[in-house]
Amino acid sequence: MLLLTALLVGAAFVAYGWAIAEAPRMLDSNSVRQASPDARLSAHHNARLLVTSLGGAIVVAIGLLYTARNYRLANRGQVTDRFTKALERLDSTKAHIRIGGVHALARVLQDSPSHHNDTVDVLIAFLRDRSAPSPGSADQPPEDLPQELPEDVQATVTALAYRPRRRAAERAGLDLHDLRLDHLHAPYGRLQNSDFSGCRLREARLHRAMLDYAELSRADLRGAELNRSSLKHATLHLALIDHADLFAVSLSGADLSMSSLTGANVSHALLLDACLSECRLNGAYLSFSDLQLANLTRADLSHARLNRCRLHNANLSFASLRQAEARDSHFDGANMAHISAAKANFGFSRLNQAVLESADLRDARLVGAQMRRVDLGKADLRGAALIGADLAGANLSGADIRGADLRMARLCDAGGKNPVEGLDANDLATARTDHSTRLPPRLQAGADERW
């Protein structure tokens, strides 16, 4: 190798000397021949000077490349040394030394892309070693768990949550499953694709965090702050999210099946095409949320507030909306078959072409509701308030409307067009009507006799 290098250097010197010697001959011979002797001498000098300068520039460039290589090697060695010393600090029995080690690793993470995955792996291992296991684990009984998050654990989570963006270098999301991370503070954190399954995150502060595609199945998020966070396509199956703050959260395409959101604030949320089947939302505040195409089959929405929500084409079959508030909401095209909505308030809501077959709407308030072409077959409407409701073209076959208030209701369009179906004079006689009720011609005669 040394011999080859010596030969190459010798060849370079020979070529360089030849170029200096032959530089004058490379000039235009006609121009040089016609010039005066002084001009020819000056031209030859300039040619040799140009070659000499070019050679010097090449030598300088090679020196710079060699210096840069040495700098990279020295920097890599320094980073490795910093990495090793930080690892030694993590094993200390003193909290402040461990915190210093975590901060040192965070700086390595920021400064060295080549150490990115190694540093993340070490921080996760340290976090798993220092964090108490979740109560479901047999490693430690629940009564021995601390209430507040240790400072070194918080520092570790901070380093991971705000790590630099290196999508090409990073292998996968963070694996933090089954950890106890109560009172975690990581607002604006980058936690996409991370695994928090089985984690205990009570009262965690994660507002405006990025949690898209995160795994949060069986996670305990009771009382957590997740307002304005992004959880698109996240999995929260069987998660406990009671009394959490999810104001303006984005949960489009998320899986919240069989989760519990009792008393949670989910107002102004985006839940397009989300799965909330068998979800407990009793007492939850969902007003102004967008739940179009959402799956709410068998969900418990009793006492929930759904005012001014958008639920176009949502599936609420077999859901419970007992005493729920859903005023001025949009249920157009929704599947609400077999729902239990006794004493619910749907005042001034839109339920056009919705399916409410076999629905329990006893004593429900549907004042001013738009229910054109709605399917109310076999529905229980006893005592329901349908004052001013638009029922043109609705299907009431087999529906029980005893005691229902149909004053000012429209059971057909002007001129008797689009009359309700499945309703006869005997059914109508059990409901409350007056001259303000717009009836189809076939039912008008009998009603005039009663009035």
pLDDT in tens, 221-268: 999 999 999 999 999 999 999 999 999 999 999 999 999 999 999 999
Provide mean pLDDT across the span 183-206. 95
63-77, 192-206, 409-423, 433-447: the lowest-pLDDT one:
63-77
Residues paired with residue 150 on neighbouring β-strands, in sequence order:
none
DSSP 144: G
Q: Exposed (0-12), middle (13-18) or buried (19+): which is 37, by Cβ within 10 Å?
A: exposed
Closest CA to 290 of 319, 257, 252: 252
User: Could you tell me the two tokens for 113?
Assistant: 């892309």
Mean pLDDT to the nearest integer, 52-70: 68
What is the distance, to the nearest Å, from the Cα of residue 118 to the centroid of all Cα atoms in its chain? 27
- Other beta carbons less than 10 A from residue 36's beta carbon: 8
- From CA 279, how far away is CA 301, in angstroms rounded? 8
Query: Which pLDDT score, from 0 to 100, does residue 141 have?
Result: 44
Q: In the structure, what pLDDT confidence band is assigned to residue 284 with cuts at 50, 70 and 90? A: very high
What is residue 34's predicted lDDT score, i.e. its pLDDT?
57
Do the Cβ atoms of 187 and 210 come closer than 8 Å?
A: no
Tell whether the model's pLDDT for residue 52 goes beyond 80: no
What confidence category does residue 395 fall into, taking pLDDT thresholds of 50, 70 and 90?
Answer: very high
User: What is residue 225's predicted lDDT score, i.e. its pLDDT?
Assistant: 97
Mean per-residue pLDDT, 107-122:
86
pLDDT score of 65: 73
**Residue 306 near residue 329 (C-beta atoms within 8 A):** yes
What average pLDDT score do residues 125-151 get? Answer: 67
